[in-house]
Amino acid sequence: MITQSYDTTDTEQSSDVAAIRDAIRDIPDFPKPGIVFKDITTVLRDPALLKKTVDYFYHRLKSQNIAYVVGIESRGFIFGAPLAYQLNAGFVPIRKKGKLPGPVARQSYTLEYGEDVIEIHDDAIPAGARVVLIDDLLATGGTAAAACELLKQIQVEVVAIEFLIHLTFLNGQEKLPATCPMHAMIHY
Ligand code: AMP
């Protein structure tokens, strides 16, 4: 039987990753001129590619004793929930301000114009628990860095922050604290 392992870091050569990469669609000038939007709906709509994507993260993380998968609103939810199911872990959402009904921890971060706030239920994860953070794409890193700070506030152990796509030319990884080791499936 041939088994494929993604536990090593050199995964971008695998045919599965190549197929996922081929399916990601570039939409120029969305949502505003000059931005090339990486559209992942073309991956999600394909049953085989959706499965390969979730399986990729599962194989990377299956031996890491992950207790919770934390998804960043909103595309982090798409991969986060099935990944949590596979890892036999819980799923916890990080949401934009005002969406969560219970008591929250919050973290603000600066945008190009102004400020934004993300929140997590402050009783969702016990202190010291091993978690993985997941989102679709690392761009400037503002959102991901704020998510890392939020998890620092509630004192959990971030085993990794995982992305489907890393836009390396925006240097977002430099914003991430050392408490959040970063990995992405596909690099541009
Ligand atoms: P950032 O805080 O700049 O790292 O980006 C925050 C979020 O914006 C990411 O999680 C993506 O969902 C989305 N995003 C930013 N740039 C792009 C892009 N070029 N294509 C698709 N989504 C993007």
Pocket of ligand 1 from Cβ distances under 6 Å: 35-38, 75, 135-144, 172
Q: What is the per-residue pLDDT across 14-70, written as a single tens digit (0 to 9) for each?
A: 899 999 999 999 999 999 999 999 999 999 999 999 999 999 999 999 999 999 999
Q: How far is the CA of 139 from the centre of ligand 1 (A)?
A: 5
The torsion region of residue 6 among left (phi > 0), alpha (psi -120 to 50) and beta comes to: alpha
Q: Which of 21, 73, 75, 106 is catalytic?
A: 75
The reported pLDDT for the residue numbered 3 is 34
Give 138's pLDDT tier (boundaries 50, 70, 90).
very high
Rounded mean pLDDT of 174-180?
A: 96
pLDDT, residue 4, reads 35
pLDDT(7) > 80: no
Distance 1 CA to ligand 1 centre (A): 39
CA of 112 to the centre of ligand 1 (A): 12
> In the annotation, is 60 catalytic?
no
Q: 146 — phi, psi (to 5°)? A: -65, -40
Q: What is the pLDDT of residue 97?
A: 97
- 75 assigned to active site: yes
User: How far apart are the C-alpha atoms of 137 and 92, rounded to whole Å?
Assistant: 18
Cα separation, 185 vs 24, in Å, equals: 12
Q: How far is CA 34 from the centre of its chain?
A: 24
